[in-house]
A and B are shown apart, each in its own frame.
Chain A
Amino acid sequence: MIDILRARFHQGYRTIRFPKGADPERPERFVGRPEIAQEGCTGCGSCVQVCPTDALHLREKAPSIDMGLCTFCTVCAAACPQGVIRFGREFRLAAQGRQALLVPSQGEDADPLREESIHSLFGRSLKLRQVSAGGCGSCEADTNVLNTVGWDLGRLGIQFVASPRHADGLLVTGPVTKNMESALRKTYDATPSPKIVIAVGTCAVSGGLFRTHTETVMGVDTVLPVDLYIPGCPPHPATILEGLARFLGRIPAK
């Protein structure tokens, strides 16, 4: 017992302050939201050719990146001879609309009416059922880590529950394999309304690397209506936490 108490004393208090306090620490080489310079692109298309998921398109001689397809491998940035593409440190990547994941942005993020109802329904308490549907384990791990003392998701009133019957919504990871599609639908049907669906990770948002596979469908929104997209491969825990908190109105939209 005395050893347990001693260990408790050594280990200390380790929960981050965010979202009330400073932004969470990220590694020096953190790869966040891509940034595209407005000038300099010669339209050579090197970036488009090397992208493993076809997340890049050339529009009027400047590339646009779909973060919902991007695996943040940064190969495009390395391939651009002009240095037009770079990946910054911004970790706030979540969006309610698929169009808002384009860089440069092509659409409005949230519908104000719907946003208001989400804030009032789930803003103080949100119970989620997690479903992995072909996820590789990384998005699951970085979601799970939010339950550790370091992140303590519970302080925002968000909890993962063991049954869809107890849940307000689903948090889905993975591109949705054909072999999981029916189980995912059944889990959604078992969740009482009103309910929400959150797609975490590039696979869940669009199918990612597996988008063209006959073994998968093209992400969660081909099966279920998605209310929040959190891209990344995997998204940093800070990205997931911030996405959830902003979605619930716990931090003001930027």
Chain B
Amino acid sequence: MTEALFLPNGGRAPLSSVPFLSFQGFRKAIVEGVDAGGRLVALFGSQEEGVRLYGVLAWKDRALLSVVSTRIEGRYPSLTPTVPQAHLFEREIAELWEIEPTDHPWLKPVRFASPCGKVENSKRCGEADFFSIAGEEIHEVAVGPVHAGIIEPGHFRFQCHGETVHHLEILLGYQHRGIEKALLGGPDKRSLGYMETLAGDTTIGHGSAYCRIYEALTDTPVPARAQALRGIALELERIANHIGDLGALAGDVGFLPTMSYCGRIRGDVLNLTGQICGSRFGRRLLIPGGVRYDLDEEQVEKIRKGLKRAVQEAEEAVGLLWKSSSVLARFEGTGALSREVAEEIGLVGVAARACGIETDVRSDFPYDIYQFFNIPTVTWHTGDVFARAFVRSQEIRRSAEFVLGLLESLPTGEILAPAGGSLQERQLVLSLVEGWRGEIFHGAVTDRNGRFSCYKVVDPSFHNWFGLALALRNRQISDFPLCNKSFNLSYCGHDL
């Protein structure tokens, strides 16, 4: 990887400093990089006198991101057969740029979007080939896009023999709203709103990834107090969602006490975020340069008390799960993924940590407040539903300790630095945030007027949906709701 440009999380560099390699050189950099322990964070095209392809790898041991680029047109030899992590990125490239990665094992639309620069869309969502197995006793089960619960739309196609699922294929795109396209030429008055609603349950996660891009491009230093308040909001988002997920997992195995308690406690934690900015989801809180709302001592005390109580109640409610043999019997061994598979497909976040992989942006690529306060990474080794539940339960505790600690010693001073002026021209910025589902990547390229000529978002769900498909292999179809909930991935975060 000698030829790559290395950047820290949130780092910015002139476009001219990003190595522009031959395709062979690019391919070598990615393949050898992944072999040497790099993880493919993003692979995306950008309109720069043709299509310039950027490849971003994460180097945990050095806490750095490396980036290389090349030009592609027409077709190019697919990376996926050698680097499986690239499979969905390459499908995306084919869809958006009409450039074919030849020998891609399963080239089909990702979200049935119109190609870049075009309005017409000849594709109809859901109309595509599905992997299928044949045989007299084989049957196919199709579910969605409209599901039975209150949940976002997606289509699931199971290839079954009896109760056994031999293959699950997940087809998404129903939620595609064209956000990346709408960000081009920005930032403008809508940009922040798009970020807050990219995945509504990850408002702070995506919002802060965007703010850090904006701040890097305007050289705006974020005041320490604002960094702390952003950290608190991000961890509250994590705590609330993890509690909600544990409740939902309990519900899916018919264990109603934990389901009822956690459903309510999740709301109590959302209300704490509501106390900061008035919105349970953290809308309005973030703004490039800092935050829009401060906390006085009385409010700090209220949040501290509320969080202590909520976490205590959650521990009691979740503790019931580990004591109930009927729950453990359903959780243990269900939907297990091995560490090898998880690494090969580039899993991130809770799902990866549940396979024993120590990966967490907060400790691997620390930024802002996480540089000063460390949150220990929680892992478990079994890769099953139990592991995904258990990792969540432990993360609730760690995040709560972090928030309570910060509330004790909030830095004083301003909460907002003016992020004025225009954005630096012809730059590349890379930003990572550990959202509650996992690693959030935002990458931006600015043109010669300091406007976004490319804005790439990779929600953790983009990496992890395939993990869910694999987790169901050779399981019973009745395990699907439980496995699905244990990943709890975002549809709109994937569909953008």
Indicate, yes or no, whether A interacts with B: yes
Rounded to whole Å, the gap between the CB of B462 and the closest CB of chain A is 15
Rounded to whole Å, the gap between the CB of A90 and the closest CB of chain B is 13
Taken together as a complex, chains A and B put the C-alpha atoms of A142 and B199 apart, in Å, by: 14
- Check: A121 CB closer than 8 A to any chain B CB: no
Most buried by A among B153, B192, B199, B260: B153
Chain B interface residue bracket vs A: 35 or more
A133 to chain B: which residues have CB within 8 Å? 153, 174
Known: A7-B257, A27-B278, A137-B490. A216 touches B178 (CB 8 A): yes
* Contact for B280 among A10, A14, A136, A236, CB less than 8 A: A236
Taken together as a complex, chains A and B put the C-alpha atoms of A93 and B199 apart, in Å, by: 24
Q: Is the CB of A215 within 8 A of B145?
A: no
Which of chain A's residues 38-97 have a Cβ closer than 8 Å to chain B?
50-53, 71-75
Which of chain A's residues 1-57 have a Cβ closer than 8 Å to chain B?
3-4, 7-8, 10-11, 14, 26-31, 50-53
Q: Smallest CB-CB separation from B312: which chain A residue? A: A10
A142 to chain B: which residues have CB within 8 Å? 280
- Check: A247 CB closer than 8 A to any chain B CB: no
- Check: A206 CB closer than 8 A to any chain B CB: no
Interface string of A184-196 (1 = CB under 8 A from B): 0001000000000
Most buried by A among B152, B182, B194: B152
Q: Is the CB of A141 within 8 A of B201?
A: yes
Rounded to whole Å, the gap between the CB of B439 and the closest CB of chain A is 18
- Check: A223 CB closer than 8 A to any chain B CB: no
Q: Is the CB of A31 within 8 A of B320?
A: no
Known: A148-B264, A209-B193, A215-B113. A134 touches B175 (CB 8 A): yes
Q: Is the CB of A7 within 8 A of B112?
A: no
Q: Which of B32-40, B134-142, B269-277 contacts A (4 or more CB under 8 A)?
A: B269-277
* Contact for A30 among B114, B151, B274, B299, CB less than 8 A: B274
Q: Is the CB of A183 within 8 A of B174?
A: yes
- Check: A102 CB closer than 8 A to any chain B CB: no
Q: Is the CB of B200 within 8 A of A141?
A: yes
Q: Is the CB of B199 within 8 A of A137?
A: yes
Taken together as a complex, chains A and B put the C-alpha atoms of A142 and B279 apart, in Å, by: 11
Q: Is the CB of B152 within 8 A of A140?
A: yes
- Check: A145 CB closer than 8 A to any chain B CB: yes
- Check: B161 CB closer than 8 A to any chain A CB: no
Taken together as a complex, chains A and B put the C-alpha atoms of A210 and B183 apart, in Å, by: 12
Rounded to whole Å, the gap between the CB of A146 and the closest CB of chain B is 9
Q: Is the CB of B153 within 8 A of A144?
A: no
* Contact for B174 among A75, A180, A209, CB less than 8 A: A180
* Contact for A50 among B153, B182, B189, CB less than 8 A: B189
Most buried by A among B193, B197, B293: B197
Known: A141-B201, A149-B260. A51 touches B150 (CB 8 A): no
Interface string of B253-294 (1 = CB under 8 A from A): 000010011011011000100111111110110000000010
Q: Is the CB of B275 within 8 A of A213?
A: no
- Check: A229 CB closer than 8 A to any chain B CB: no
Chain A: how many interface residues by the 8 Å CB criterion? 66
Rounded to whole Å, the gap between the CB of A72 and the closest CB of chain B is 8
Q: Is the CB of B197 within 8 A of A144?
A: no
A139 to chain B: which residues have CB within 8 Å? 200
- Check: B316 CB closer than 8 A to any chain A CB: yes
Interface string of B39-69 (1 = CB under 8 A from A): 0000000000000000000000000000000
* Contact for A4 among B192, B257, B278, CB less than 8 A: B257
Most buried by B among A149, A160, A216: A149
Which of chain B's residues 81-136 have a Cβ closer than 8 Å to chain A?
111-114, 119, 121, 125-126
Q: Is the CB of A135 within 8 A of B200?
A: yes
Interface string of B148-184 (1 = CB under 8 A from A): 1111110000000000000000000111111001100
Q: Is the CB of B178 within 8 A of A71?
A: no
Q: Give the top 8 A-B pairs by smallest Cβ distance, nearest first.
A: A138-B200, A136-B200, A29-B278, A148-B263, A179-B125, A162-B148, A215-B178, A27-B274
Q: List 17 contacting pairs A-B, 8 Å CB cutoff, sorted by A.
A: A14-B264, A27-B274, A27-B275, A28-B275, A53-B193, A71-B283, A73-B193, A131-B153, A132-B152, A145-B267, A163-B148, A177-B176, A179-B174, A180-B174, A209-B190, A209-B194, A216-B178
Other A-B pairs, 6, CB within 8 Å; known A4-B257, A214-B119, A214-B178? A140-B152, A141-B200, A143-B150, A148-B264, A174-B175, A214-B121
Chain B contact residues, CB within 8 Å of chain A? 111-114, 119, 121, 125-126, 145-146, 148-153, 173-178, 181-182, 189-190, 192-194, 197-201, 203, 257, 260-261, 263-264, 266-267, 271, 274-281, 283-284, 293, 299, 313, 316-317, 319-320, 323-324, 490-492, 495
